[in-house]
Every structure is written in C-alpha cells, then in structure tokens.
Amino acid sequence: MPMRILFTKLLHIGDNLLLTPTLVATKEKFPNAEIWVAVRRGTEGILAGCPEIDRIITTARPEEGHRTRSDFGKDLVTLAVIAGTRFDYAFELGDNNRGRVLCTASRAKIRCTNSYERPEGIPLSTSWKKRFNRLIMTGHGPVHQVLRDYNAVRATLDLPEEPPPMRFAREAMRASQMEGALEGAITGSFATVHAATRWFSKSWPLDRWKQVVAELLTRFPQVVISCGPNPREIAEAKIFCEGFEGKVLSTKGKLSWTQLAALLGSASLFVGVDTAAMHLAAAVQCPSVVLFAHPPAYQFRPWKCPHRVVRSKDSMVETERYQLPGEQLMQEISVPMVTDAVDSILAEQVSA
C-alpha cells in the first residue's frame, strides 16, 4: 500500500494556492505517496494546475444560509470516504473545527494541527488537543502564509528548510484555450488589471483604477481587465474599458481558473489587489504590483515572484497600522504611488 497523506484547508480560493509549495515539496520527498487535499466546495478549480495532488475532496461552505440538505448529504459522503480510507498522515492547516473533524475521522497514524498561544492565535481547546498526536506550536510568527503551512508539515515529514514557489503547471494552462472568452483579440504585449474584490476594505476608487489603466496604455499596447462573474465586477470592468478605443479588453467574468492562468502566464505585468487572482499571477511568475491594506503584506504578498507592494503608512509599526481601517489605508494610496511601482518593476525586468 502506498503512503497516503491528507491535507485539509477549508478556507478561501487563494489559500488553496498558498498550500501548493507544501504539496510540491511533499511529493518530491515521497514521489510514490498518494496526496489527498480537502477544500471548500467551489474553490477546488484553482488547484487544477497542481498535478502533485492525487485526489481532491470538498465540503460545503460553512456560512449560514449557503448550506443545503444536499450539501449536508455530500459532506456525510466525504466524511465516510475519509473514514473508510487508510491514511498515514493528516495535516489540518485551515485552523478550523471542520477540518479537524476530517483529520480526526481519517484515523491517520500521525494527526497534526496548529496549536497557537496568544497573541499568535486562538489557543486550541483541550478536547481538540486530545484528538491529535502532533501539535505544531512553533513556526507561526510574522511570516508568510506559505511558510505557516510549510512549517506545520516540514518537521513531521522532514522536508527541506525552504519551500518552493507556488504551483500552476504550464501543461494545465496550455490545455485551456481563451478563444471567445475575451471581448476582443490580444495582439501584442499587455498588462492585466484585477481591481475586483468582494472586500470593501481592499477596494480602491474606480476613478483611480481608470487612471492607472490609462497610464499602463502608455507603457503597453493593450490592457486586459480581469474580473469574476459577479454582475458588479463585470460592470466595473466595463467602465475601465470605456474611452480607450478597443485597447482595453474585459474578461467579462468568463474565464475559468485555468484560462486566467493562461492569460496571466502571457501577461507582462499584473496590477491588482490581494485576491486569488494575485496569487495565481505569482504562481505563473507574472511580475506583479499589488495594493495592500489588510491583512499584512508580509503574510500574503506574492510568493517567490517579482513584485512590488504598494501600501500607505508603510513605515508604521505593523501592530499599530493594523488598528487603522482598511478603507482609510486604501484611500491614502495615490495613483503616482502605483505608477512608480509599475516603473520600478518594469525597469527591473529589463535589467534582469
């Protein structure tokens, strides 16, 4: 029987990509191991570019009002599948009880979960501590989320000290054609802008985004506006396209994650906010300029990819800066701050 390892991370879409360096390192260490990953239903598509995963299993979204009887039935099936499968290791990396339930059900020989102390996180209850035989109490700290995941696994599996980049395989990008997905044709070099976010605390004024689009057109023949399928995001993307004589195209929320990976893999630059699209740009090594308010940039900035972070009040102590509203921090980012970051990273790419 091959070694079988379960990773659970029932969080948001971008968090799945942040797990891929750990999965890649694990597969390199144990090439014959069977790797299972449990994620929230609807977030699994972004893992299509990680061939190290042998099986993805999903659970319903935890938010009240979104779960149905069908979701409950599917979750019972997921639980039964895990309980009926022999696992050697189970790692809970989402810091939530739903993931801990899955790891407990796995009856893995080694069951690991994070155990925090304040102020790093909420301490684990005694009842949960009894259900795990490996508690990760170090390696959290003020570090990137990739390292938090990796540190929780590294000692147990004896992985190398340094995690690799995020993973989205070129083969998965080539397998996905964008023909017909854009409202026009890309004919030369281009920048991609992803301003859309469902978090108001990460939003930047639309008029400033349009100014940035205009500035990018002085540096690139075309700009592509990426957005999700939400009607508000599609409407905003349309505004960014207006008045530029067809030089600015919108994805209209039609691209799958594999299609967006192909788009970003061909782009010369990504400009956006802290979203799953930002992490996908990093996974395909697209140079990036990212506007940050909260959470801290050190924890979620593009991982092992050329980038610039644009923040207001950047010199403040992080614990003090975090007390300020994200909306205020975003409002204090100016257009010149963004364009200066664009010019800086473009100059770096030319000299590289």
State the pLDDT at residue 177: 64
Residue 69 pLDDT greater than 90, yes or no? no
Residue reference for tokens 């972004």: 46
State the pLDDT at residue 65: 55
Residue 325 pLDDT greater than 90, yes or no? yes
Q: Which residues contact 123 (CB under 8 A, 6 or more apart)?
A: 115, 116, 117
Residue 313 pLDDT greater than 60, yes or no? yes
DSSP state of 161: S
**What span, in angstroms and rounded, lies between the C-alpha atoms of 25 and 217?**
40
- Name the average pLDDT for the chain: 93
Q: What is the distance of C-alpha 211 from the center of its chain?
A: 27
Residue 63 pLDDT greater than 70, yes or no? no
State the pLDDT at residue 119: 76
The Cβ of residue 152 has, within 10 Å, a number of other Cβ atoms equal to 24
pLDDT tens digits, one per residue of 25-56:
999 999 999 999 999 999 999 999 999 999 99
pLDDT tens digits, one per residue of 211-263:
999 999 999 999 999 999 999 999 999 999 999 999 999 999 999 999 999 99
Of the chain, the percentage scoring pLDDT greater than 70 comes to 96
Of the chain, the percentage scoring pLDDT greater than 90 comes to 80
State the pLDDT at residue 179: 61
Q: Mean pLDDT over residues 7-31, rounded?
A: 97
State the pLDDT at residue 122: 84
State the pLDDT at residue 180: 65
Q: Mean pLDDT over residues 314-318, rounded?
A: 90
Residue 175 pLDDT greater than 60, yes or no? no
State the pLDDT at residue 62: 66
State the pLDDT at residue 68: 74
Query: What b/e readout covers 22-58, taking b as 16+ CB neighbours within 10 angstroms?
Result: bbbbbbeebeebbbbbbbbbebbebbbbbebbeebbb
**What span, in angstroms and rounded, lies between the C-alpha atoms of 245 and 263?**
21
Please tell me which residue, 66 or 14, carries the higher pLDDT value: 14
Residue 183 pLDDT greater than 80, yes or no? no
DSSP 223-249: EEE---S-HHHHHHHHHHHTTSTT-EE
Q: How many residues does the chain have?
A: 352
User: What structural domains does the chain harbor?
Assistant: 4-167 (3.40.50.2000), 172-351 (3.40.50.2000)
| Predicted model pTM | 0.94
pLDDT tens digits, one per residue of 125-139:
999 999 999 999 988
State the pLDDT at residue 85: 96
- DSSP alpha helix (H) spans, 242-321: 257-266, 276-283, 297-300, 318-321
Judge whether 195 and 228 are in contact, CB under 8 Å.
no
Judge whether 2 and 88 are in contact, CB under 8 Å.
no
**What span, in angstroms and rounded, lies between the C-alpha atoms of 17 and 294?**
19
pLDDT tens digits, one per residue of 225-238:
999 999 999 999 99
Q: Mean pLDDT over residues 18-28, rounded?
A: 98
